[in-house]
Structure 1
């Protein structure tokens, strides 16, 4: 976890980021802010500034485009993330991956724990590691606890692709990126993904690239 800091500089940092209109710059892998973890949100941003920051995260996520974005990905070490997934995928992908639409929502101070022992492995990517994807085995079902942007408690079980999204974004808040959990023999460029591995599941990639699936 990050060392707690005086809240004023964090508010100043966010105000500076929001000084220009449009999507925020996304931090790329190699920047220490992605590795130092985050501090628990405890009013460092007043309600109005928090609402503006959340909206900026939403705009940036949509513009990227992505299905989730964590505060450190825009350089802010606070335990806040946003997710949204319209899931515009063919039925075979939806069924294989358990990918169902998720409305826009804000995760404040989230943490997760597995429900059961089942794991699922699929290719995933990251806005902070552009141009690449890799297979990650994650818990198939997780219980997420935390708060929303209004301070209301969140205690919810996620399964399938939504479970993958909340794990990916919560990991960012702990200084972990998806490559830390990935099967590195699966690492593929977006071009290779389009030409070779655009399948609902990664079984063929596992055979051809020589890695194990759970």
Structure 2
């Protein structure tokens, strides 16, 4: 095998085989799907096999990564769907942070074609990350309280007044549905690598994996 043939073979192996959404991984910033406004879900298809697969993939990835929120675009599907789940204080890594962030348990739930209304325009600044911007976080201002209306995965209408950390998650996911990321509204100088101190202590010998749950 000559060098040219080897290069072509290696490039083919590295790129892998084309896969179709919904992905079993979370897409990363740079993927155009994260920057396009999501489309409304056709109500006649809300219970289709494809949509059920989207819901399952989102839940699976949230379980693997520990994410509190995830939208359909993050699995490659540009539809107005997101999921949210906030663990109890017992399940969370730090009770002190849990209380400081004003977190409270939210069972796993799917929101289809959601709409949001701000109820309290006062803003709170907290550090925020995103599974599609792996390894980074920044301070982001968010409204204190919002009202969310939409449908569940069965097409049943529902509404929810979210406050504290839950309101932050809702706003983060609603931004995703409009093609926005937290880096668009963050306090610029606050952006940091979430493991910068580990990088220093390990003298740069750190690998940030992109494999969910690893």
TM bucket (normalised to shorter chain) is: 0.7 to 0.9
**CA distance, structure 2, for counterparts of residue 132 and residue 193 of structure 1:** 13
Contact 2:46/2:154 (8 A) holds in 1? no
1:92 match: 96
Measured at CA, do residues 31 and 119 of structure 1 come closer, stay the same or move farther in structure 2, by a change above 3 Å? same
**CA distance, structure 1, for counterparts of residue 184 and residue 173 of structure 2:** 13
1:139 match: 143
1:153 match: 157
The alpha carbon displacement at 1:74 in A equals 1.1
Name which of 170, 178, 193 aligns with 2:174: 170
- CA offsets per residue over residues 89-147 of structure 1, 9 Å max, x none? 43332222111111100010112121122211100100100010000000011011111
Measured at CA, do residues 77 and 44 of structure 1 come closer, stay the same or move farther in structure 2, by a change above 3 Å? farther
- CA offsets per residue over residues 51-89 of structure 1, 9 Å max, x none? 232111100121123111101111111111111121414
Superposition RMSD on alpha carbons, in Å? 2.1
Greater radius of gyration (CA): 2
Measured at CA, do residues 36 and 193 of structure 1 come closer, stay the same or move farther in structure 2, by a change above 3 Å? farther
TM-score with structure 1 setting the length: 0.76
**CA distance, structure 2, for counterparts of residue 168 and residue 75 of structure 1:** 17
Measured at CA, do residues 194 and 81 of structure 1 come closer, stay the same or move farther in structure 2, by a change above 3 Å? farther
1:200 match: none
Q: Secondary structure at the match of 1:25?
A: coil
TM-score with structure 2 setting the length: 0.76
1:115 match: 119
Measured at CA, do residues 174 and 193 of structure 1 come closer, stay the same or move farther in structure 2, by a change above 3 Å? farther
Matched ranges for 1:1-214 at <5 A: 16-17=20-21, 24-42=24-42, 43-44=44-45, 46-87=47-88, 88-192=92-196
> How many residues are aligned here?
177
**CA distance, structure 2, for counterparts of residue 65 and residue 116 of structure 1:** 28
